[in-house]
Amino acid sequence: MLSLELPKHSTNQQTTAFNRILLVEDEELIRDMIVLALEGEGYQVVSAVDGRKALDLLQSPEITTGELNFDLMILDLMLPYVNGLDICRVLRHNGNTIPIIILSAKGSEEDRIAGLQIGADDYLSKPFSMGELIARCGAMIRRYRYGAVFPSSARQFGEITIFPQECRVLVRDQEVNLSPKEFKLLELFMSYPRRVWSREQLIEQIWEPDFLGDTKTVDVHVRWLREKLEQNPSQPEYLITVRGFGYRFG
């Protein structure tokens, strides 16, 4: 069940007929449960028990020759030898676009943000339901194969998720409509959580170089964004005023 043996003469037809998932998880119990559930759904699952084995596998000659390929990787973050974030970073740095779903212990929001920022596509907190994992795997594979050519660089922070390539924003699971400027502003904020921006810096980043308005324009746009994002716009949780400096996100 956990072997790395692969069919010796896999043809192209076979590789496309089965969706093959690489599972990187060091906890045996969780690994076995996931393998069982995914195999039950008709996936082929190859497991790696630590970060080094995962990277070895992803850089194996079978991968480079195209004899072996994965449709998706499920990646635990806390792993022996090489952790999940580093695996993700190495892959994206090398131009590998395999869709990645990160699994991690509950509460590590910073890991989740870091993971999404360095190119993971989705994130599930442990403990998760097997049904949800299976649903997300299916959605990810469909989206990757038949939808977007590139993996989505969705970013999530708290209850806000932004999909830059699709120009979409979800707030508490509801789609919200943002003007192009509001969208650009939110995208910038979410790319650098907790970074403090002065109004002048925001104008420089978001508005045209020949912008003639003043910094109050920024305040107005922040107010509009707050009305769309915050549960209580007068006591914002996301778009925070930093007195004497400007604004930060988170």
Residues forming contacts to Ca ion in the complex (CB under 5 A) are: 26, 76, 78
Closest approach, Cβ 24 to Ca ion, in A, equals 9
Please give the order of strands across the beta sheet that includes 44-48: 44-48, 20-24, 72-76, 100-105, 122-126
Query: How far is the C-alpha of 223 from the C-alpha of 34, rounded, in Å?
Result: 45
Which residue's CB is nearer to Ca ion, number 29 or number 149?
29
Which residue's CB is nearer to Ca ion, number 125 or number 198?
125
Nearest to 123 by CA among 137, 103, 105, 147: 103
* 3 state SS for 67-83: CCCCCEEEEECCCCCCC
Q: Which residue is nearest to Ca ion (CB)?
A: 78
Closest approach, Cβ 57 to Ca ion, in A, equals 17
Which residue's CB is nearer to Ca ion, number 47 or number 152?
47
Which residue's CB is nearer to Ca ion, number 49 or number 141?
49
Answer whether 70's CB lies under 8 Å from 22's CB: yes
Closest approach, Cβ 108 to Ca ion, in A, equals 12
Closest approach, Cβ 37 to Ca ion, in A, equals 18
Residue 36 falls in which region: left (phi positive, over 0), alpha (psi -120 to 50) or beta: alpha
